[in-house]
């Protein structure tokens, strides 16, 4: 069982080679990916610690690794078990609108189910990813939706992919300078439900946008459970070059998540979405 304990500062990877019969290990390399980031004057980069374990109990090795990572970062076990979530995606898919929420809540009022969270997942028509304040198919507004969910005794949840903007979004049109670019100056593209731009979380203004968005969704609208999707978009392209030349891909990712937390506040739950 191989794993990196620290998982901060830069991405890392293992490279493993065997003999032609795939019976014996011939090479093992733990590689640090510093992405060509500039080292600030007086700065320092440290590689991550590697944990190597042997044993026959695969699940036990995984649990030990997870426990060691938590201890390394001083992450305490959750005080409460994870909530149960009703998620609109797994029945309605991308066509979940205001009228559907009203129907579902009317059903739950008559026949309550033991869920903790009602989650409004991606509802695409009338809104491009990145234009999170525009909800054509939710005429009463998202605050009204969250209020109705809470009135029945559930926690209100909402889906976003905060690092992405559709190529036809108003956000991309109004702020082309916010888009993450490659060495050749072309924007980084992320393929998911079509083509998307990726936001450069090191560019001035981007973190404020993300923070304000989650402050609005949590404090103003009332969504205290956030499903964050496709977060990998910011670090999957090795040719990405950030506005801040000292930032690695993982540091840009961490800055974006920190902005989410600042906006959502310390008490909002923040699970990672499907295939983040």
pLDDT digits over 51-71, tens only?
Answer: 999 999 999 999 999 999 999
Q: Is the pLDDT of residue 92 over 80?
A: yes
Q: What is the pLDDT of residue 151?
A: 97
Q: What is the pLDDT of residue 188?
A: 98
Q: How far is CA 177 from CA 148, 151, 203, 206, in A?
A: 38, 42, 8, 10
Q: What is the pLDDT of residue 76?
A: 87
Contact predicate 230/276, CB 8 Å:
yes
Q: What is the C-alpha end-to-end distance of the chain, expressed in Å? A: 23
Contact predicate 227/118, CB 8 Å:
no
Task: Name the pLDDT band for 267 (thresholds 50, 70, 90).
Answer: confident
Q: Which two tokens stand for residue 142?
A: 């998202």
Q: Is the pLDDT of residue 221 over 70?
A: yes
Q: What is the pLDDT of residue 135?
A: 84
At residue 27, the 3 state secondary structure works out as: strand
Q: What is the pLDDT of residue 270?
A: 63
Q: Is the pLDDT of residue 134 over 50?
A: yes
Task: Name the pLDDT band for 273 (thresholds 50, 70, 90).
Answer: low
Task: Name the pLDDT band for 127 (thresholds 50, 70, 90).
Answer: confident
Please compute the mean of the pLDDT values over residues 243-248 and round it to a whole number. Answer: 96
Task: Name the pLDDT band for 276 (thresholds 50, 70, 90).
Answer: very low
Compute, in degrees rounded to 10, the torsion defined by CA atoms 201, 206, 209, 211.
40
For 98, other C-beta atoms within 10 Å of its C-beta total 19
Q: Is the pLDDT of residue 262 over 80?
A: yes
CA distance linking residue 157 with residue 214, whole number of Å:
12
Tell me which long-range contacts 95-100 makes (C-beta under 8 A, separation of at least 24): 95/123, 95/124, 95/125, 96/120, 96/121, 96/123, 97/123, 97/137, 97/138, 98/137, 98/138, 98/139, 98/140, 98/145
Q: Is the pLDDT of residue 199 over 60?
A: yes
Q: Is the pLDDT of residue 219 over 90?
A: yes
- Residues whose CB is less than 8 angstroms from the CB of residue 27 and which lie 6 or more positions away in sequence, other chains included: 15, 16, 17
Using a pLDDT cut of 90, give the percent of the chain over it.
Answer: 88
Please compute the mean of the pLDDT values over residues 210-225 and round it to a whole number. Answer: 97
CA dihedral sign of residues 102, 108, 109, 114: negative
Q: What is the pLDDT of residue 112?
A: 94
Q: Is the pLDDT of residue 275 over 50?
A: no
Q: What is the pLDDT of residue 30?
A: 95
Task: Name the pLDDT band for 274 (thresholds 50, 70, 90).
Answer: very low
Q: What is the pLDDT of residue 125?
A: 61
Q: What is the pLDDT of residue 5?
A: 94
């Amino acid at each position: 069982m191989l794993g990196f304990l620290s998982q901060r500062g830069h991405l890392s990877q293992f490279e493993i080679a065997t003999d032609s019969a795939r019976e014996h290990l011939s090479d093992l390399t733990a590689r640090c990916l510093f992405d060509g980031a500039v080292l600030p004057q007086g700065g320092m980069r440290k590689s991550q610690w590697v944990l190597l374990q042997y044993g026959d109990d695969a699940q036990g090795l995984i649990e030990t690794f997870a426990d060691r990572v938590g201890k390394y970062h001083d992450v305490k076990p959750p005080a409460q078990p994870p909530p149960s979530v009703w998620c609109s995606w797994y029945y309605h898919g991308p066509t979940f609108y205001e009228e559907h929420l009203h129907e579902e809540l009317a059903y739950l009022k008559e026949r309550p189910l033991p869920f903790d969270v009602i989650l409004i997942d991606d509802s695409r028509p009338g809104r491009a990813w990145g234009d999170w304040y525009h909800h054509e198919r939710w005429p009463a507004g998202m605050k009204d939706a969250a209020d109705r969910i809470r009135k029945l005794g559930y926690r209100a949840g909402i889906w976003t992919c905060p690092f992405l903007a559709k190529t036809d979004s108003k956000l991309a049109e109004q702020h082309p300078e916010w888009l993450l670019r490659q060495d050749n100056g072309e924007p980084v593209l992320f393929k998911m439900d079509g083509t998307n731009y990726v936001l450069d979380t090191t560019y001035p203004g981007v973190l404020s946008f993300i923070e304000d968005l989650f402050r609005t969704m949590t404090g103003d609208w009332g969504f205290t459970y956030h499903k964050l999707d496709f977060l990998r978009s910011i670090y999957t392209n090795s040719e990405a070059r950030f506005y801040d030349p000292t930032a690695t891909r993982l540091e840009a990712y961490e800055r974006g998540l920190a902005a989410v937390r600042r906006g959502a506040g310390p008490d909002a739950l923040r699970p990672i979405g499907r295939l983040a």
